[in-house]
Structure 1
Amino acid sequence: MNYSPESLEAFVQAVETGSFSAAARKLKKSQSTISSAIANLEADLGVTLFDRQSRQPVLTDQGKHILPYIQSIMAASERLNEVSVRLAGNVEPRLSFVLSDVWQTSHHESILQRFSQRFPDIEFECLIAEDEDVIDLIQIGRAHVGVLRVQPRYPVDVTVARLQVGAEMAIYIHRQHELARLPAVEMDTLQTVRQLSLSTFTDPTRNKSGGPTWSSPSLLMLLEMAEQGFGWGILPRWLVEQFGHDVLQELPVAGWPQRIDVDVLWSNKTPPGPAGRWMIDQLRAQNP
């Protein structure tokens, strides 16, 4: 029996987002199209995947049982796409790479050197973004490969792989601030001081402590704000060491510093070509 890829995607997206309407928005389709696709899948399978009695659709026991099988089918389809891209060997004329400032500069410089030698004629673009903005750029096709800190959830239309390299994040403030002189700093105390918070264009309210906040979508900009004495911020240690001007103090806060894991991701709807796949392979092979 053949199952429509659109029906499988509609089902998984409805599970991921929690509703048919949210799945429709994510897939840029009408709600009726999503409902019909899922209904057709239910008819093909001969089971009821969602209980539609409540306000939001809820997975039935049959739906819960079938979900991992459908996810496996979609994952196998992604792997098939990757193999076909590799076998075709047609190098894309342009590659756009988006990365987070969490990722240490030295990690990608050597890869770019090898990329330049292997693909001398390709047009290459490097973008800087954080968290949800990286995902958004991949989804809309603005970037082909992205590197970002690990997110709690990813949309079903991107493929993600964990990198071996990571970063240490710590809390910093200007050396002349009174908190810099304390032997230990409580989070409650930090909330009385302005936080320099990382925001994104897709979710500008995230990562706020509850106290006064200045925000920016760039970690490098937050570093500059902290150096000007505007407040405290959570910053990668490597960024402070490499681009700071020795004016910041790492605060002794319980639970900090924290190690941040990093992922590479790309679209499974429009996967990158051989140059993009080469970049992904190099990223995944990189040792700490």
Structure 2
Amino acid sequence: MPYSPESLQAFVEAAALGSFSAAARRLRKTQSTVSTAIAHLEAELGVDLFDRSGRYPQLTEAGHQVLGYAQEILAADQRLQQLSMRLAAPVEPRLTLVLSDVYQLDPGQRLLQRFAERFPDIALEWLDAEGHDVLRSVLDGRADLGLLPRQDQYPAELQVQPLAHHSELAVYVARSHPLADAGRRAAGQLPRHRQIRLSAQADHQQAATGTSWSASDYLMVMEMAEDGLGWAQLPRALVQRYDRGQLLELALPGWPHRVHSDLVWRRDTPPGPAALWWVEAFG
């Protein structure tokens, strides 16, 4: 094909993030490199992909049409690379996954059962972590593959694969909590009550209230919320699966929030056949 994967990747990232500079940060390239790659793609296709007249580039009608094809080409290229690695590499004897609780396995997909049938002799370890702890586990070699909510930036040592899957975060309180009966007034009353949140969030974000408690994982956050100790932002799928009927989702403006996830692994230790099975299953 006359256009390079680098040009297609620059175009897709710029379209997704809404700016060339954001795409450059995601791809760890200079803004001029991304702009040049997109300009070359436009010249090769003979169309303008972005309207650059405003503060931020906007996809043209042609850009919207090209975007789907570009995403398909990149996805096919990724699948081909994974297939070649799976065919050439021996099955790893051990595999460690580290996942955020934002992602909950769909029981109907039977992923663990299917993996056990496909790789009956492998030693599988499943770790729970959140945010930067997921990245640290992969960077340190503690885990082979990590799944976490999408980050603005990643360490250069990591390969990142965005997932089509998305989760939803909603705000919950115990049915016995004062906010449970607040109705539309709940949004304005949140700052008066304790927030229960992840330790990872507590390290990187300012509390939405004057008082907050934190825990290292979503299950503990949920348990604290069930006990009426405060309100919490929790993955809907997690609550649906593990709540004992004690939590109430608050109807707040702008909620629930959609959360996209990424898979990460070290560039110098590409995934083997068993890890690639999970990459395809999560994708």
TM-score, length-scaled by structure 2: 0.68
Is 210-219 or 148-157 further displaced after alignment? 148-157
1:206 matched residue in structure 2: 205
Shift of 1:256: 0.8
Secondary structure of residue in 2 paired with 1:147:
strand
Shift of 1:180: 1.0
* Residue 278 in structure 1 maps to residue 277 in structure 2: yes
Tell me if the contact between 2:179 and 2:186 (Cα under 8 Å) persists in the aligned partners.
Answer: no
2:219 matched residue in structure 1: 220
Which AA in structure 2 matches 1:105? L
* Residue 158 in structure 1 maps to residue 175 in structure 2: no
Residue by residue, what CA displacement relative to the aligned partner does 1:213-236 show, whole Å, maximum 9, x if unpaired?
100120000000001111000011
Which AA in structure 1 matches 2:180? A
1:263 matched residue in structure 2: 262
Shift of 1:209: 1.4
Residue by residue, what CA displacement relative to the aligned partner does 1:66-101 show, whole Å, maximum 9, x if unpaired?
47899xxxx9xxx79857633422111100011111
1:128 matched residue in structure 2: 128
Secondary structure of residue in 1 paired with 2:271:
coil
1:100 matched residue in structure 2: 100
Shift of 1:140: 0.9
User: Distance in 1 between the 2:115 and 2:133 partners?
Assistant: 25
User: Distance in 2 between the 1:155 and 1:68 partners?
Assistant: 22
Residue by residue, what CA displacement relative to the aligned partner does 1:114-135 show, whole Å, maximum 9, x if unpaired?
1111111111100001111111
Secondary structure of residue in 1 paired with 2:245:
coil
Secondary structure of residue in 2 paired with 1:184:
helix
Change in CA separation of 1:168 and 1:186 when aligned onto 2, cut-off 3 Å: same
Identity %: 39
Q: Give the total of aligned pairs.
A: 220
Tell me if the contact between 1:191 and 1:209 (Cα under 8 Å) persists in the aligned partners.
Answer: yes
Structure 2 unmatched ranges of 5 or more: 1-23, 38-73
Tell me if the contact between 1:95 and 1:124 (Cα under 8 Å) persists in the aligned partners.
Answer: yes
Secondary structure of residue in 1 paired with 2:101:
coil
Shift of 1:147: 1.5
Structure 1 unmatched ranges of 5 or more: 1-14, 18-58
User: Distance in 2 between the 1:127 and 1:68 partners?
Assistant: 40
Change in CA separation of 1:219 and 1:180 when aligned onto 2, cut-off 3 Å: same
Change in CA separation of 1:84 and 1:238 when aligned onto 2, cut-off 3 Å: closer
Q: How does 1:158-197 map to 2 (within 5 A)?
A: 158-185=158-185, 187-197=187-197
CA root-mean-square deviation:
3.0
User: Distance in 2 between the 1:102 and 1:137 partners?
Assistant: 17
Tell me if the contact between 2:190 and 2:209 (Cα under 8 Å) persists in the aligned partners.
Answer: no
Q: How does 1:10-21 map to 2 (within 5 A)?
A: none
Tell me if the contact between 2:173 and 2:225 (Cα under 8 Å) persists in the aligned partners.
Answer: yes
Shift of 1:200: 2.5
TM-score, length-scaled by structure 1: 0.67
User: Distance in 2 between the 1:193 and 1:238 partners?
Assistant: 24
Change in CA separation of 1:207 and 1:234 when aligned onto 2, cut-off 3 Å: farther
* Residue 239 in structure 1 maps to residue 238 in structure 2: yes
2:146 matched residue in structure 1: 146
